[in-house]
């Protein structure tokens, strides 16, 4: 069962697509869209990632950061990013620490769940009914942005 709206978002530190260390605290003061997905370069996950890629201009200027998370490693993330020209970081959660902390374990992979975290670190939206083709615009609409 996903974490509840109103709870503190679990802190995390992970490696991104390029091997940079990324922590939730790096984005204090910004809204964070933390979306979990099962696997790089699969049909639904590709549609979802491309929806965020294509909506980049809609997110700019709104202090919203998009981070994708799966259990894939950095090499897989780099290939996925290059193949689809993704313009946001993917976090490698190979030890499944984030997947477990955010209660999205699907038995070896991440369930498709998106959390929106407020600038103060609270979960303000949980989306489990995801249309992979329109996910990025659906999140903005839900936030009234």
Structure tokens at 33: 């869209």
- For strands 21-23 and 31-36, give the pairing: unpaired
Alpha helices in 1-145 (DSSP H): 43-54, 56-59, 74-84, 97-101, 135-143
Residues 33 and 67: beta-carbon distance below 8 Å: yes
- For strands 13-16 and 21-23, give the pairing: antiparallel
Residues 52 and 66: beta-carbon distance below 8 Å: yes
Is 50 tagged catalytic?
no
Out of 24, 33, 34, 45, pick the active-site residue.
Answer: 45
Task: Write out the catalytic residue numbers.
Answer: 45
């Amino acid at each position: 069962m996903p974490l509840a709206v109103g709870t503190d978002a679990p802190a995390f530190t992970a490696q991104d697509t390029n091997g940079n260390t990324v922590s939730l605290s790096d984005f204090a003061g910004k809204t964070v869209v933390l979306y979990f997905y099962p696997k790089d370069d699969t049909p639904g996950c590709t549609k979802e990632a491309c929806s965020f890629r294509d909506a980049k201009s809609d997110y700019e200027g709104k202090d919203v950061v998009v981070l994708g998370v799966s259990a894939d490693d950095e090499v897989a993330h780099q290939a996925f990013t290059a193949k689809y020209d993704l313009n946001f970081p993917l976090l490698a959660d190979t030890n499944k620490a984030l997947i477990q902390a955010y209660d999205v374990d699907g038995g070896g992979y991440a369930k498709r769940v998106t959390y929106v975290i407020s600038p103060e670190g609270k979960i303000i939206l949980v989306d489990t009914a995801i249309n992979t083709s329109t996910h990025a615009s659906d999140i903005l609409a839900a936030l009234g942005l």
